[in-house]
Amino acid sequence: MVSLNKFNLSYIVSTRNRLPFLQITMQKLMEALQPDEEIVVVDGNSTDGSKEYLQQLFNAGSIHQFISEPDKNQAHGWNKALLMAKGSIIKKIIDDDVFCYPAINKCKQYMLQNADVDVVISNDLGCSLTNHNNIQRSGRQPQFEKWKAGLTPTFTFGDVHMLIRRSALAYIGLYNTSFIMMDWEYSLRISHSKSNICYFTGYNALSVSHPQTVSALKNSDTISAQGKKAAVLYDYAGDDAEISLWSKIKIFIGKRIYRSDSKSGDITENNLPDIQTIYNSLYGYINELNKRKEALFIESHK
């Protein structure tokens, strides 16, 4: 039995001004929620109706914790959510991506049964909103295996498919608010700290690229400088994955999925494609893929 202040898993969401995507994501999340899980949402003082929508969900008891206030940057919002989370395990939910909740539940159960595991990551899926039928499969298992064998001190991975043990935050820390590529730096820090990372060969998430996800391209010089700084700090020699592959804002630019047909600027209610149909298709795809694939858990410390 789960007490009022104890959850096995906290789903955390940090969002601002992406209501059409948020509504789809929250509906899927609420439908999948288990009794031992909570939903924590941090809104960055949205002006597009997201704040009011989330307040209604909170008032109805559909989400457990909710605040809306300005964030200093993206990492600041996510750190608030991490600190608010009450679950022993934390799963980040990005408002415009697709998640496989049965696969996430498998990872949750594995972490509950293996208390020494700090982090679970999985294989990757990705597509662009304008070319959603072209779904790319990839993964970081070769880099993980090399790191596990002690051949490299660090490796990178995306946090969109990561589950992290809350108690591990005392050792790993929060997102670095000075980094634009916060997830890239975080993965280097996690692996460099020799945390017990477990690799799940299934698929927890499918990243969806669209014009709003590339808003930080204008910061390319800063990104490059920060990449060099983190590489030195964490003794990262690099590999086939450029820094751009591991940030949500550029992830599929580097993989050449996102093409010139996405130059329309910010997606608004006036120029949205039929995202409900697209996202239903993507949720179906990742769920069916995981049903067909026998996934394994590979621990780094065994």
DSSP class of residue 120?
Answer: E
pLDDT at 219: 63
Q: Decide if 162 contacts 11 (C-beta within 8 A).
A: no
Report how far apart, in Å, the C-alpha atoms of 82 and of each of 91, 193, 199 are: 9, 19, 22
Q: What is the pTM of this model?
A: 0.89
Residuewise pLDDT in 10s, the chain (302 residues): 444 458 999 999 999 999 999 999 999 999 999 999 999 999 999 999 999 999 999 999 999 999 999 999 999 999 999 999 999 999 999 999 999 999 999 999 999 999 999 999 999 999 989 889 999 998 999 999 999 999 999 999 999 999 999 999 999 999 999 988 889 899 999 999 999 999 999 999 999 988 766 444 446 677 778 778 888 889 888 775 555 444 444 444 334 333 333 333 444 545 567 999 999 999 999 999 999 989 999 999 86
C-alpha to C-alpha distances, 29 to 16, 33, 257, 263, nearest whole angstrom: 18, 6, 26, 30
What's the rounded Cα separation, in Å, for the pair 87 and 299? 22
Region label for 256, one of left (φ > 0), alpha (ψ between -120 and 50) or beta (otherwise)? left
Instruction: At 129, list the tokens.
Output: 């909103």
Domain 7-299 has CATH 3.40.640.10: no
Angle, CA of 153, 199 and 230, to the nearest 5°: 35
CA 120 → CA 9, 100, 146, 158, 289, distances in Å? 13, 14, 17, 11, 19
Residue 64 is predicted with a pLDDT of 98
Task: Please give the pLDDT value at position 47.
Answer: 97
Instruction: Give the gyration radius of the chain's Cα atoms.
Output: 18
The token pair that represents 86 in the structure block: 């009450």
pLDDT at position 140: 93
Domain spans in the chain, listed from the N-terminal domain onward: 7-299
Smallest CA-to-CA distance from 88 within 163, 189, 4 is with 163
